[in-house]
Amino acid sequence: MQIKVENNKAWFLVLPVFLIVAFSAIIPLMTVVNYSVQDIFDPYTRYFVGTEWFKQVMLDSRLHEALLRQFLYSFTILAIEVPLGICVALMMPTKGRGASLALILVAIPLLIPWNVVGTIWQIFGRADIGLFGAFMSSIGVDYNYASDPTDAWLTVVLMDVWHWTPLIALLCYSGLRAIPEVYYQAARIDQASRWAVFRYIQLPKLTNVLIIGVLLRFMDSFMIYTEPFVLTGGGPGSSTTFLSQSLVQQAIGQFDLGPAAAFSLVYFLIILLVCWVFYTTIMNMQKDK
């Protein structure tokens, strides 16, 4: 009988990563917890206030509205990007030069920095010089993202879909390429329809990449800041002011470090909860299969 020797030295190789994460995430998070229970005037003048900031944050109606907008935004873009990404991946060519060209074209939006994406769509959506704005005007739609909240929402959602659907598409494309040809051969022998192939072969095999895609997109969209900030500045009014922008206004604009720290922690807990629910649900669905 062969005895399996366990080598725990690998844990030491993880140590550098742990130290980096400690300095970049854990220590700042601990500092935020410390700030959240104090009224900070300057580095040397601070007073312990207990849970006062948490009460203020939890009862702030502006933050409730920003939270609702944030959930609406994240679920809207997920509802569009995931099916669209799967469709794009299914339509992409699999062989020859066409495959390489499609990969490059699809990946281009992912290479553009967030603030540049905001600027591109700021110009693209303008009725006087932007292609999208001019097109909407030409078909008789009174479109103005700077003054109409619905138009602002439409533009912010379209911008995110344009920027991030390629990520889902590329993840799904790699998932589809990993399916062995024998599955398709078996489907052909059974004369399975195109839908049956998708439903019983491709979709189950895409589950793992979709878990990663949904989690990444949820977390990213829930923390979105730069693109709407550049495009609409959170307006018109506060119609596109999401959580991170409210947080920045409070922390940097008003220099309310205590309430901003309490807000950050509530924000962090919500992200942690939603990600855990997503992850657990999807993993349990897989186990049940």
Partner 1 sequence: MAWMSWTLPTALFFIGIAVILVGMTTWQIISPCVERRGFLPLATTRGDRLFIGLLSSAFIHLAFVALTDVNIAVATVLCAFWMVILMRWG
Residues in contact with partner 1 by the rule CB under 8 A: 27, 30-31, 33-35, 37-38, 40, 43, 46, 48, 50-51, 54-55, 58-59, 266, 269, 272-273, 276, 280, 284, 287
Nearer to partner 1, 34 or 100 (CB): 34
Q: CA separation (Å) from 280 to 209, 219, 284?
A: 15, 15, 6
Preceding omega of 28 cis (within 30 degrees of 0): no
Nearer to partner 1, 55 or 177 (CB): 55
Phi, psi values for residue 38, rounded to 5°: -135, 155
In angstroms, what is the minimal distance from the CB of 2 to partner 1?
21
Identify residue 155 by its one-letter amino acid code. T
In angstroms, what is the minimal distance from the CB of 38 to partner 1?
6
**Are 55 and 136 contacting, i.e. CB atoms less than 8 angstroms apart?**
no
**Interacting residues of 243 by C-beta distance below 8 A, sequence separation 6+:** 63, 66, 67, 70, 222, 223, 267
In angstroms, what is the minimal distance from the CB of 46 to partner 1?
6
- Residue 156 CA to residue 239 CA, distance in Å, equals 11
Nearer to partner 1, 179 or 270 (CB): 270
Phi, psi values for residue 135, rounded to 5°: -65, -45
In angstroms, what is the minimal distance from the CB of 5 to partner 1?
17
- Residue 176 CA to residue 23 CA, distance in Å, equals 38
Nearer to partner 1, 46 or 126 (CB): 46
In angstroms, what is the minimal distance from the CB of 246 to partner 1?
17
